[in-house]
């Protein structure tokens, strides 16, 4: 059996025909299917990258102390995660690479169980498949019975639904995993994108003392700068948490030569140390989100969850591919919900990472005022 035969089909290949239909619109496509940043990389980051461009030597896998400290300082100042040391954070080459390889790197293998959310970023399943592990997609811990998973993924705010898990639920999952010796990995790439005014509905890290107590045992949190700082092209991310687990990842990654380039490490530190650009980007997304949400609801869609992340989880109570096709006829491309699990069969994921001009075009088309 080849490695590729163990993997699920790449979902985006199924969207090609609808993308072609949307591109045929007289005013062009409005692509709301993939959450790709479109706004400029902050100048403070570009300046840092230019200053570090002379980088002839090999970078270290563990990363620059200044980069790791910047990550710890950001976790503390922005998210209340305190008490971590430099041995508890590791820069990585984009969060997707880490997520896809993490199960293998932590020694998960055939016969082991990996638990995913019922609706989940597909790369969690890819990582489990590469390890040869069994997969259960569920949001119910009781459904697992006496099983002791090797690895459990959380994602809050969720991709695709934007659902934010409340602190009591996070504490329950942390306790459940610790009782069973299960490694809990929290994908927190959208942690800065909460949209509800109620403080109780704001996203919180599993590494926050109110969730995990005074210990990070068994816990890892994954963070990305792709959306916060428009750094998708830089591949800047990091993982933090249990020093034993971080050390295991470091040992494996040293042997594989998985090293974030030095200039990107400097750029990442600059991005994490600057909050002004992140606040500006958050405000841009808030306006785009509000415009698209209003337009979708006026066009007969229901928006479920969507308290966080950069997506609206929309439904008009029909099959997701019917919705995808109907919107493609208007030149709007969205992601079908079943890309993320069978439970998404009657929803679509609508990204609000398009430019202001393209968002305005989508709003007009949803209102029946599109260019013809």
- pLDDT for res 224: 97
Dihedrals phi, psi of 78, to nearest 5 degrees: -95, -25
Of 226, 244, 247, 223, residue with least CA distance to 235: 226
- In this structure, whether the domain defined by 55-274 belongs to CATH 3.40.640.10 is answered with yes
Whether 350 contacts 311, CB under 8 Å: yes
Cα(213)–Cα(191) distance, rounded to whole angstroms?
19
pLDDT score for 372: 46
Encoded tokens for 201 = 């509905």
Give the C-alpha separation, 328 to 226, whole Å. Answer: 27
Helix (H) or strand (E) holding 77: helix 65-79
Q: Where are the domains of the chain?
A: 3-40+277-366, 55-274
Q: Do domains 3-40+277-366 and 55-274 have the same CATH topology?
A: no
Q: Is 53 exposed, middle or buried (0-12, 13-18, 19+ CB in 10 A)?
A: exposed
3-state SS string over 296-357? HHHCCCEEECCCECCEEEEECCCCHHHHHHHHHHCCEECEEHHHHCHHHCCCEEEECCCCHH
pLDDT of 6 reads 66
The answer to whether 150 and 182 are in contact (CB under 8 A) is: yes
Q: How does pLDDT run along the chain (372 residues), one tens digit per residue? A: 666 666 666 777 889 999 999 999 999 999 999 989 999 999 999 999 999 999 999 999 999 999 999 999 999 999 999 999 999 999 999 999 999 999 999 999 999 999 999 999 999 999 999 999 999 999 999 999 999 999 999 999 999 999 999 999 999 999 999 999 999 999 999 999 999 978 778 999 999 999 999 999 999 999 999 999 999 999 999 999 999 999 999 999 999 999 999 999 999 999 999 999 999 999 999 999 999 999 999 999 999 999 999 999 999 999 999 999 999 999 999 999 999 999 999 999 999 999 999 999 999 999 986 654
Give me the pLDDT at residue 33, please.
Answer: 96
- What gap in Å lies between CA 337 and CA 213, rounded to an integer? 36
- How far apart, in whole angstroms, are the C-alpha atoms of residue 167 and residue 120? 20
State the Cα angle at 317 between 190 and 153, rounded to 5°: 30
- Top-level CATH class of 3-40+277-366? alpha beta
CA distance 264 to 231: 10
- Is residue 226 a contact partner of residue 95, using CB atoms and an 8 Å limit? yes
Edge-first strand listing for the sheet containing 113-116: 89-92, 237-241, 219-224, 183-187, 151-155, 113-116, 134-137
- Residue 234: name the closest of 21, 42, 27 by CA: 42
**CA 148 – CA 146 distance, rounded (Å):** 7
Residue for token digits 């840092």? 48
Phi/psi of residue 187, nearest 5 degrees: -85, 105
């Amino acid at each position: 059996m080849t490695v590729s035969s163990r993997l699920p089909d790449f979902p985006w290949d199924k969207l090609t025909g609808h993308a072609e239909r949307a591109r045929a619109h007289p005013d062009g496509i409005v692509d709301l299917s993939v959450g790709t940043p479109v706004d400029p990389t902050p100048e403070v980051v570009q300046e840092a990258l230019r200053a570090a461009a002379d980088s002839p030597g090999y970078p270290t896998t563990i990363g620059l102390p200044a980069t790791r400290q910047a990550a710890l300082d950001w976790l503390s100042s922005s998210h209340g995660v305190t008490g971590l040391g430099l041995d508890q954070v590791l820069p990585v080459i984009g969060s997707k690479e880490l997520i896809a390889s993490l199960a293998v790197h932590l020694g998960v293998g055939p016969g082991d169980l990996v638990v995913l959310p019922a609706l989940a970023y597909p790369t969690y399943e890819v990582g489990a498949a590469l390890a040869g592990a069994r997969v259960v997609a569920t949001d119910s811990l009781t459904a697992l019975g006496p099983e002791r998973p090797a690895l459990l993924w959380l994602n809050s705010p969720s991709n695709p639904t934007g659902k934010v898990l409340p602190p009591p639920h996070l504490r329950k999952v942390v306790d459940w995993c610790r009782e069973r010796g299960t490694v809990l990995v929290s994908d927190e790439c959208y942690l800065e994108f909460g949209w509800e005014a109620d403080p109780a509905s704001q996203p919180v890290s599993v590494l926050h003392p109110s969730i995990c107590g005074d210990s990070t045992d068994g816990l890892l949190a994954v963070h990305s700068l792709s959306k916060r700082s428009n750094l998708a092209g830089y591949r800047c991310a990091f993982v933090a948490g249990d020093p034993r687990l971080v050390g295991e990842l470091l040992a494996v990654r040293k042997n594989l030569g998985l090293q974030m380039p030095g200039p990107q490490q400097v750029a990442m530190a600059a991005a994490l140390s600057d909050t002004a650009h992140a606040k500006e980007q958050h405000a841009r997304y808030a306006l785009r989100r509000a415009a698209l949400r209003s337009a979708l609801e006026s066009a007969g869609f229901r928006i479920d969850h969507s308290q966080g992340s950069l997506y609206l989880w929309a439904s008009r109570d029909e099959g997701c591919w019917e919705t995808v096709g109907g919107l493609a006829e208007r030149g709007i491309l969205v992601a079908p919900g079943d890309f993320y699990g069978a439970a998404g069969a009657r929803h679509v994921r609508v990204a609000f990472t398009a430019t202001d001009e393209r968002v305005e075009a989508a709003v007009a088309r949803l209102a029946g005022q599109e260019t013809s």
